Amino acid sequence: MVVVMAPDATDADVAAVVARVEAAGGEAFVSRGVSRTIVGLVGDVEGFGSLNLRGMPGVSEVVRISAPYKLVSRQHHREMSTVWVGPAGHRVPIGPDTFTLIAGPCAVETAEQTLDAARMAQAAGATLLRGGAFKPRTSPYAFQGLGEAGLRILADVRAETGLPVVTEVVDASDVDLVASYADMLQVGTRNMANFALLQAVGSVGRPVMLKRGMNATIEEWLMAAEYVAQRGNLDIVLCERGIRTFERSTRNTLDISAVPVAHSLSHLPVVVDPSHSGGRRDLVVPLSRAAIAVGADGIIVDVHPDPDTALVDGPQALVDADLRALAAAVRQLPPLLGRRPAADAVTD
Amino acid sequence: MVVVMAPDATDADVAAVVARVEAAGGEAFVSRGVSRTIVGLVGDVEGFGSLNLRGMPGVSEVVRISAPYKLVSRQHHREMSTVWVGPAGHRVPIGPDTFTLIAGPCAVETAEQTLDAARMAQAAGATLLRGGAFKPRTSPYAFQGLGEAGLRILADVRAETGLPVVTEVVDASDVDLVASYADMLQVGTRNMANFALLQAVGSVGRPVMLKRGMNATIEEWLMAAEYVAQRGNLDIVLCERGIRTFERSTRNTLDISAVPVAHSLSHLPVVVDPSHSGGRRDLVVPLSRAAIAVGADGIIVDVHPDPDTALVDGPQALVDADLRALAAAVRQLPPLLGRRPAADAVTD
Amino acid sequence: MVVVMAPDATDADVAAVVARVEAAGGEAFVSRGVSRTIVGLVGDVEGFGSLNLRGMPGVSEVVRISAPYKLVSRQHHREMSTVWVGPAGHRVPIGPDTFTLIAGPCAVETAEQTLDAARMAQAAGATLLRGGAFKPRTSPYAFQGLGEAGLRILADVRAETGLPVVTEVVDASDVDLVASYADMLQVGTRNMANFALLQAVGSVGRPVMLKRGMNATIEEWLMAAEYVAQRGNLDIVLCERGIRTFERSTRNTLDISAVPVAHSLSHLPVVVDPSHSGGRRDLVVPLSRAAIAVGADGIIVDVHPDPDTALVDGPQALVDADLRALAAAVRQLPPLLGRRPAADAVTD
Amino acid sequence: MVVVMAPDATDADVAAVVARVEAAGGEAFVSRGVSRTIVGLVGDVEGFGSLNLRGMPGVSEVVRISAPYKLVSRQHHREMSTVWVGPAGHRVPIGPDTFTLIAGPCAVETAEQTLDAARMAQAAGATLLRGGAFKPRTSPYAFQGLGEAGLRILADVRAETGLPVVTEVVDASDVDLVASYADMLQVGTRNMANFALLQAVGSVGRPVMLKRGMNATIEEWLMAAEYVAQRGNLDIVLCERGIRTFERSTRNTLDISAVPVAHSLSHLPVVVDPSHSGGRRDLVVPLSRAAIAVGADGIIVDVHPDPDTALVDGPQALVDADLRALAAAVRQLPPLLGRRPAADAVTD
C-alpha cells in the first residue's frame, strides 16, 4: 500500500502519516521524488484500511498495490528520471538528456593499475570511474578483491582524477563501509534478489546501480528496484549485463531489447554493460554502439592498462586501440539520438 | 573433404575432379566463389584418400574438414562477401559496404495490401520487398498463406515497383516453384535444421536468406549455411531473428551479439529481423538502430498498411510514423559506420 | 473448425460432409478415433458458417477451434489412447496399461551390428526395434545414414527377430519409401515444426512417434501433433527427449515434468528418450527409472554392440551391464504403477 | 590451497598448521570429514609455498586447487556422505542408505496451521519438518514471513511432534538467530550465490540445505557448496528445485538429471523439491516418484492444511489425498533401490 502525498504536503504531514502507520504496527518508507513524496507501507495491509490515511492532511491518494512494483513504475511518473552521481562540483548525470560513459578496472589490484585505468577511462570520455574492491566470485578459491584497501585506492584515484566512484557491495553488513568511500553503490547480478542487501543500499543515501540478475525477467528486475525505492531511495540506475542462454560463443547474451522495454515500464535510467555481457574484448565496441543506438542512458566498460595480467576478467578489458574507437562512438552517436555526452554535463 | 582449386583452374579441371569423385561412388558439389572454386566431397572420405586428387591439374589443396563448417568460414575466405539480389538492372547488394533495408508485409493477403505495403517500404528506403506466400504456422488452424497465388501477387508488385522479392519456402518440393517467382529464397527459423530443404535451396540458383533457428547456436547456424553452400550456392545471407529465452516481455530475445560473432566466424553477410525478435511495434525502431550500430549488413522489417487487420503478426508491423523514424535511421547511421544505403548502390 | 460426427454416423454421412466442404473450396481431413469420427476443416472458416454443416445427417456438433489444438486434446477425449505398432501377430501396444521398451542402435551401420543390437534389445525386454537409416546431422560432413540400404537391413532384422521397426523420416518426399519398410515413423526433434513433413506422415497410414522440438513448449508440441492428426492419423506417440538450457553437463535437460503435463492435456501416449536427453551412458538407467516412475508409457533407448566404434552417438549407447540394470527396472517398476511390461501384451 | 591431514593427525597438528598460516597473514578453515581432516587456505597462495606446510607433523598432502571445488568433490572422497539432522534422540539421516521425506508448510502463518501441517507431514512418513519464517519474495509488497515469531512456532511444533526443523535464512546477519532455533539451515535458490551468507552458514555449526540457483549450472552449485565447506562445515545437502527455461506450463523445469550428475561429482547427498519445481499440485506426486527412482536421497514437499488460504504458494501444497499417494510412494519405491525409509533410521 502506498500513500501519495500532495505536491504541497509538509514534512509534518508526512511525519504524521508515518507515525500513524507505525503506531498500528506497520512500517512506513518515505520516498521523496522530484515532484512529490510517496510513503510505502509494509505490514498488515488489511488493517491499514481502518487508519483513515486518506483523510489526513497532505494526503493526495492511498493506493492498493496491484502491480508488483509501483515507485519505480512509469505509470505514476511519466517523466524519465535523471540520477546524479558524485559530490557537489563533480555531479555527473545519468538520464534521458545525456549519455554517460562509466569505465575502469573490473577489479582494483594496485594503486598504479587503478590510476592508469582511470586515466585511460577519462581519456576516452568517461565521467565516472568503476572498480571492484569486493568481488563476488563463483569459486571460493578465486581472487575476492582487496576489500577496504581497494576502497581507499579508489578514493585516492578519485582525488587525483576528479572521477566519482562506482563500486560493488556484496553484503548488507558492508553497506555503510562501502558508502563511506563510494559515490554510487553497485549491486551485482548475483545479488539482484538478495533482498536484505537491496534494503540496506536503499537506506544509506547513495545512488545505486542495480544489475539485472542473469536469469531475471525484466519484471523481477523492476521489483528488485522497488525494494531499494521502498526504503526511500529513488536514485536507482538499472544495468543490463546479459542473460544466460544456451548460446556458448558469448559469456552471456546481451538482451538489448531490455533497454527500451525497461524504459517503457519504468522512469529509471538504464545503462548497459557490454564487457560482461559478451565476455569478449572484440565485442565491446560493437555492443557499446548498439547500446547507444538502442537508447541506453550510458554504458559501463572494463578497461585495464595490461589486460593480460588482470586478476579478473582480463579477456574482456579494453586496450588502447579499442578505447579510441569507443571514444569516437561516445562522441558521435549520442547527438544523433538527442543526447549530449555526460562529459559536457557535469555540474559544479 | 574439400578440394580447393587454384585461381587459374579451368572448368575442365573442375569437371575432371568431379568425375573422378563420382566414379568412386562419391558426390561432389562445386562452389564458385569470387576468387576461387571449391569442390566439397561427400561420401566415403577414407576412400577418397586413394584418388590422388591433390595431383590433378588445377587442384591447389585438398583439405580434410576438421571444423564442422568450411565453405562459409572466414578462415579460408578473409574478405567479407557481398550477395547480390535481383535481376540485371535491379541488383541489390547485401554486404560490407552498404546497409540494406528489406521491408514488406509478413504475409501476402491481397494484391492491394501488398502493393500498399511495398510503397510504404520503398518510401522508407527499402530496396528489397519481403512478403510471405507460404507461412509456417504453429497451429494447423492458423492462416497458412496464399501459396502460388501469393507468389503471383509478389511478382506483380515487383513489376510495379521494381523491388526484387524475398519470400519463404517451407518444403523442399516447393523450391522450384518458389524460385520461379522469387529473387531470394528465405528459409525460416523453424526450418533451419530441415536439411533436405537446405540442400534443395542450395541447388536452385537463387540467393538464400537463412534465418537462425530460435534455439540454434551460432555454430549450428553456420553448419546449416554449410549445407546450402555445399550444394554450390555461396550466395547466403544470415538473418538473426531472436532466440528463445525465459524473458516474457518480448516474443524472442534479439541476440545482437550474434552479428559481430557471426562476422568474426564467417564471410557471409548478416542481417537482423527486429520485427520478429521483439514481436512488438514499439521495439522495431530502437532495435533497428541497434542493428545498424552493431554492424549488421541490413534489416528485414514487417510493414502493413493496416496492421490491425493483418492476418499474421499485425502487432509488430510498422505504421507510418514509425516508418519515418526508421527511414531517418537508415539514412543517418550507416554512413557513420562506413556504409552507404543500399538504395544508392543498386546496379543496372 | 471441426465437425464431430455422432457415434452412429455412417461412412456416407462423413463423405457427405467432406463433399460439401470441398465444394465450397475448403479442405476436410477425416480422423477416425476409437469411439467417434472427427472432420477437421481448413480454409475459409467464416464461409463454412453458411454451409449448415450442423444440420447434416450424422453430425453431432460443429466446433469453432479456440484452443490451438483439438483432435489430440483430452478435453474431448478423456480416455487415454493406446497406439498399436506392428503387423498382425506382432502388434505392440503403447498406452496406459503397459510399459514399452523400444531399443536399438542410434544409426544402422551394418546388418551384423543391427542384428546384434536387436538381440541385446530383445534380451532386455524390448518389444520394438529402433534404428536410424536417415540421420539428420548438424554438420553436412557427418555420417548421414545408409538410406534405403539401412531400411532393408531393418526389415531383415525384423524378419529375424519379430521386432517391429521404428525409424526416422526426415523429408516429406521420403515418407512413402520409409513407410514401405517401417512399422512406425519417427519425426525427429529438428523436424517437429517441419509442417510439410508432419502432414505427410499424417497421411500415410503408419503410427507416428513425434519427438519434442528441443526448444518447443509443450503446447507447440501438441500443435505439431495436431498437424499429424488433422490428416486423419491419430496413432501418435509423443516422445520427450530433452530441451536446450544453459546446463552444460548434459547434452539436453530432460524435462521429466513434460510427461504428466502432456498426459493432462492430451490423450496421446508419451514416451521418454533417456539416451539423447542426457547424452551420457551413465545417466540412461537412472533417467529410465525416473521415466517409468513419473508415468511414461515407454522409453526409447540406444544400444550398440560396440559403442566405441559407433558412427553416431556412441557415448550414450548402453552396454551389457547397463542393459541388465535396465531390464530389471523395466520388469520391477511398472507393476508398482499399475502397468504390465509390453512384452506380455503383444497380441497376435 | 588445501592441506590434507593424515588419518592419525592430532588436534594439535591441525592447530599448528592453522597457526602457521595465520601467522603468514592467511586464513585457514578446518573441515573434519568422517575419515580425515582438511584445512582450506585462503589468501596469498603463492606465499604459502614458502611455509613448508608439507613438512609439518600430521600433514599428508598439500594440494594446489586446480578444480574449482575440492572439499565437496568425490575425487578425494569416493564414499557418499550421510548428513545427520536434529538433536540426540532425534537424529535423522540424509544419505545413500535411506530415503528422507521432509515436509511442512511453505510459510509459517500460525501455530495451528503449522502444527496441522506437521501432523499431515508426519502421517505421510516425514521425519523432518520444513517451514519458512523468513521468506525471500520477489515483490516487496508480498508477505515476507513472520520472522522470529515464526521460528518460535517451529520450535514449539518440534517440541510437540519430535520433528527436527529445516528453515531458511536469507541474510548473513540472521544466521545466529535462525541457528538458535533450527536444526538445519536452508539457503534458498535466490541466495545460492550470496557468498557472504554461504560463509556465515558455513561457520555456525548446523547442517545446511543448499538449493540450486534457478539458473546455476551444477558446477556453480558445487562451488557454492564449497564456500560453505571451506568454513569447516561439510554437513551440506544439495537440493535440486528446478531451473528456469522457456517452458511455461510449469513454474520451473525440474532438472531430474542433476541428481545423478551431482552424485557423480560430489559426495554430498542430493534431495529434490518437487513442489517448487513444478509449481503445480498435480505434479508433486509424479515428480516425487521420479526423484526416488532417479536416486535422490530425499524430497522436500509443501503441505498445508488448507492450501486455498495459504499466504505463499498455495497452488502447489499437497492435500490429504495426494499425501496418501506420496506416503505409498515413499514406502514402496526406496526399497527397490536399496534404501530404507528414513523413518526407520532415526537414531537415539
In tens, the pLDDT along B106-148 reads 999 999 999 999 999 999 999 999 999 998 877 777 777 899 9
Smallest CA–CA separation between A299 and chain B, in Å? Answer: 14
Judge whether B329 is closer than 8 Å to chain C, CB to CB.
no
Res D338: pLDDT? 92
Please compute Rg for chain D using Cα positions: 20
Average pLDDT of chain B is 89
Q: Please tell me which residue of chain C has the smallest CA distance to A245.
A: C246
pLDDT of the residue at B237: 98
Tell me the three cell numbers of residue B240. 538473426
Q: Grid coordinates representing D174?
A: 540472521
> How far is Cα C178 from Cα C205, in angstroms, rounded to an integer?
12
Q: What ipTM was estimated for this complex?
A: 0.83
- Give the mean pLDDT of C195-212: 95
Over chain C, what is the mean pLDDT?
89
Query: Residues D100, D285: contact at Cβ < 8 Å?
Result: no
Give the start-to-end residue ranges of the domains of chain A.
2-63, 83-344
- Interface contact flag, C65 B141, Cβ < 8 Å: yes
Asked if B191 has any chain C CB less than 8 Å from its own CB, the reply is yes
Secondary structure element (H or E) that encloses residue B23, with its range: helix B11-23
Kindly list the residues from chain C whose CB atom is less than 8 angstroms away from the CB atom of residue B69.
139-140
Containing B282, the helix (H) or strand (E) segment is helix B281-294
Does C43 lie at the interface with B, CB-CB under 8 angstroms?
no
Q: How confident is the model at residue D345 (pLDDT cuts 50, 70, 90)?
A: low
**Which residues on A lie below 8 Å from B260 (Cβ)?**
282-283, 286-287
Q: Which DSSP string do the residues of A79-132 spell out, in sequence order? A: SPP-EEESSTTSBEEESTTEEEEEEE-SB---HHHHHHHHHHHHHTT--EEE-B
Which of D256, D270, D275 to mutate: most C Cβ within 10 Å? Answer: D256
B215 vs C220: CB contact, 8 Å cut-off? no
- Length of chain A in residues, anyone? 348
Residue A1: predicted pLDDT? 75
pLDDT digits (tens, 9 = 90+) for B190-230: 999 999 999 999 999 899 999 999 999 999 999 999 999 98
pLDDT in tens, C217-257: 999 999 999 999 988 899 999 999 999 999 989 999 999 99
Place of cell 548478416: B270
Answer whether residue B248 shows pLDDT above 70.
yes
- Asked if C193 lies within 8 A of B138 by C-beta distance, the reply is yes
User: Residue B66's pLDDT band (boundaries 50, 70, 90)?
Assistant: low
> DSSP labels for D263-281?
HHHBSS-EEE-HHHHH--H
Q: Which residue of C has its CA nearest to A253?
A: C246
Query: Residue A345: its pLDDT value, please?
Result: 66
C218/D292 touch (CB, cutoff 8 Å), yes or no: no
Q: How far apart are CA A299 and CA A284, in angstroms?
A: 10
- The answer to which of A78-92, D7-21, D266-280 has the lowest mean pLDDT is D7-21
8 Å CB contact of C289 and D293: yes
Question: Which of A191, A195, A221 should be substituted to probe chain D, the one whose Cβ sees the most D Cβ atoms within 10 Å?
Answer: A195
Is C313's pLDDT higher than 80? no
pLDDT at C319 over 90: no
Average pLDDT for residues D150-161, to the nearest whole number?
A: 97
pTM for the structure as a whole: 0.84
Write out the three cell numbers for D86: 536434529
D-chain residues near C290 (CB < 8 A) = 256, 290-291, 293-294
What are all long-range contacts of B184-189, with beta carbons under 8 Å and residues at least 24 apart?
B184/B85, B184/B128, B184/B208, B184/B209, B184/B237, B185/B209, B186/B130, B186/B211, B186/B239, B187/B211, B187/B224, B188/B136, B189/B213, B189/B214, B189/B241, B189/B276
Of C65, C141, C144, C174, which to mutate for an interface test with B (greatest number of B Cβ within 10 Å)? Answer: C141
Average pLDDT on D10-26 reads 86
Task: Among C257, C264, C282, select the one facing D260 at the smallest CB separation.
Answer: C282
Q: Any chain B CB within 8 A of the CB of A278?
A: yes
Q: A2-63 adopts what CATH topology?
A: Alpha-Beta Plaits (3.30.70)
More confident residue, D181 or B28: D181
Q: Which whole number is the average pLDDT over C278-289?
A: 92
Could you read off the pLDDT of C9-58 as tens digits, one per residue? Answer: 888 999 899 888 888 777 787 777 555 677 877 776 667 777 888 888 88
Q: Is the pLDDT of residue B304 over 60?
A: yes
Q: Per-residue pLDDT averaged across C323-341, rounded?
A: 91
Residue D113 has what pLDDT? Answer: 93
Spatial separation of the C-alpha atoms in residues A278 and B259, rounded to whole Å: 12
Q: Do the Cβ atoms of D172 and A172 come within 8 Å?
A: yes
Query: Does residue C336 sit at the D interface (CB-CB below 8 Å)?
Result: yes
The string of pLDDT tens digits covering residues A154-199 is 999 999 999 999 999 999 999 999 999 999 999 999 999 999 999 9
Chain A positions in Cβ-Cβ contact with residue C244 (cut-off 8 Å): 246
Query: Residue B46: what pLDDT?
Result: 67
Contacts of A96 in chain B (CB under 8 A): none
Average pLDDT, chain D: 89
Return the residue in D294, D299, D332 with the most chain C beta carbons within 10 A, the one to mutate for interface testing.
D294
Task: Count Cβ–Cβ pairs < 8 Å, chain A vs chain D.
Answer: 84
Coil, helix or strand at residue B98: strand
| Optimal mutation site among B294, B330, B331, interface A, most CBs of chain A within 10 A | B294
Across the interface, of C136, C190, C215, the residue whose CB is closest to B214 is: C215
Residue C314: band (very low, low, confident or very high) from pLDDT cuts 50, 70, 90: low
Give the whole-angstrom CA distance, residue D269 versus residue D79: 11
Mean residue pLDDT across chain A: 89
Give SS3 for C42: strand
**pLDDT score, position A36:** 66
**D211-231 pLDDT, tens digit each:** 999 999 999 999 999 999 988
Q: Which of A76-90, C58-72, D29-43 has the lowest mean pLDDT?
A: D29-43
User: pLDDT for C144-176, tens place per residue?
Assistant: 789 999 999 999 999 999 999 999 999 999 999
Query: Nearest by CB to A214, which of D137, D191, D215?
Result: D215
* Burial of A95: CB neighbours in 10 Å, binned 0-12, 13-18, 19+: buried
- Given a cut of 70, whether residue C342 has pLDDT beyond it is no
Q: Could you tell me what percent of chain D has a pLDDT over 70?
A: 93
A246 touches chain C (CB under 8 A): yes
Partners of residue B277 in chain A, C-beta under 8 Å:
257
- Chain C contact for D219 (CB, 8 A cutoff): yes
How far is the alpha carbon of B188 from chain A, nearest alpha carbon, in Å? 19
Residue pLDDT, tens place only, D283-340: 999 999 999 999 999 999 999 888 777 776 666 777 777 889 999 999 999 999 999 8
Homologous superfamily assigned to A83-344: Aldolase class I (3.20.20.70)
Torsional class of C305: left (φ above 0), alpha (ψ -120 to 50), beta (otherwise): alpha
The region of weakest confidence among B72-81, D22-31, D125-134 is D22-31
Confidence at B320, pLDDT banded by 50, 70, 90: confident
Burial readout B209-218 (b: 16 or more C-beta within 10 A, e: otherwise): bbbbbbbbbb
- Average pLDDT of B269-288? 93
Is residue D58 predicted with pLDDT exceeding 60? yes
DSSP structural state of residue C189: G
Positions of chain A with pLDDT under 50 = none
CA distance A292 to A272: 9
